[in-house]
Chain A
Amino acid sequence: GQQVMQIPQYQHVQEGEDFTTYCNSSTTLSNIQWYKQRPGGHPVFLIQLVKSGEVKKQKRLTFQFGEAKKNSSLHITATQTTDVGTYFCAGLEQTGANNLFFGTGTRLTVIP
């Protein structure tokens, strides 16, 4: 069945350092979405990538979708304390199913 693996599971960084989380799917995806969940909160949508090799930026955040549409990454430049939270990727299979498969998430801690 569909599996979406995410690494690392945890990451502690000093404020100002960069951070990257990686997402790998066992099957080809139609699209991939990224969500952020603050401690004690609910997941909030960040972005969606659809095209092979697509790169999108949101201020300090850069999102990439792999050429084979089986992996993705989120890179944060110069982390801030407001970046603290868990980042999830979620992929939609190309089979046409309506449900997203979420990765296990990367919990980011930023040390001031």
Chain B
Amino acid sequence: DAGITQSPRYKITETGRQVTLMCHQTWSHSYMFWYRQDLGHGLRLIYYSAAADITDKGEVPDGYVVSRSKTENFPLTLESATRSQTSVYFCASMPGYYNEQFFGPGTRLTVL
């Protein structure tokens, strides 16, 4: 019973490279979310998805791309990484509207 997993847990990359962060949930939750967490900013929503093939921008979507071809997976791609994208990234899922969100363990990304 893995729940919600993220990979990799740690990633170091260089400016300009493409990076994909993976998120997988085993509950078949409808909603999935990507957040970034930075000191002083709390959790900021990057993108979310209400169902497979439905995605929408959050508060800070620039420089990120998402897809959701299957309910259980919600990868986040940084097309050309920048130093300002150094952060801890959390994926979350939610079974339905007005429900709690279940967070993955996070991915710590460093862009050099």
Q: Which of B41, B58, B100, B102 has the most CB of A within 10 A?
A: B100
Pick from A31, A99, A104: contact of B45, CB under 8 Å: A99
Contact-residue bracket for chain B = 20 to 34
Query: Given A98-B48, A99-B33, A99-B48: A45 and B100 within 8 A (CB)?
Result: yes
Which residues of chain A from 37 to 88 have any CB-CB distance to chain B below 8 Å in the complex? 41-45, 48, 50, 88
B98 touches A105 (CB 8 A): no
Instruction: Give the distance to chain A from B107, nearest Cβ to Cβ, in Å.
Output: 11
In the complex, chain B residues whose CB is within 8 Å of the CB of A48: 98, 100
A22 interfacial contact with B, CB 8 Å: no
In the complex, chain B residues whose CB is within 8 Å of the CB of A91: none
Instruction: Give the distance to chain A from B90, nearest Cβ to Cβ, in Å.
Output: 6
A residues with CB within 8 A of B: 1, 6, 9, 30-31, 33, 35, 41-45, 48, 50, 88, 90, 92, 98-105
Q: Supply 17 A–B pairs (Cβ within 8 Å), ascending by A.
A: A9-B40, A31-B98, A42-B105, A43-B103, A45-B101, A45-B102, A48-B100, A50-B98, A98-B31, A98-B48, A100-B45, A101-B45, A101-B59, A102-B43, A102-B44, A104-B41, A105-B43
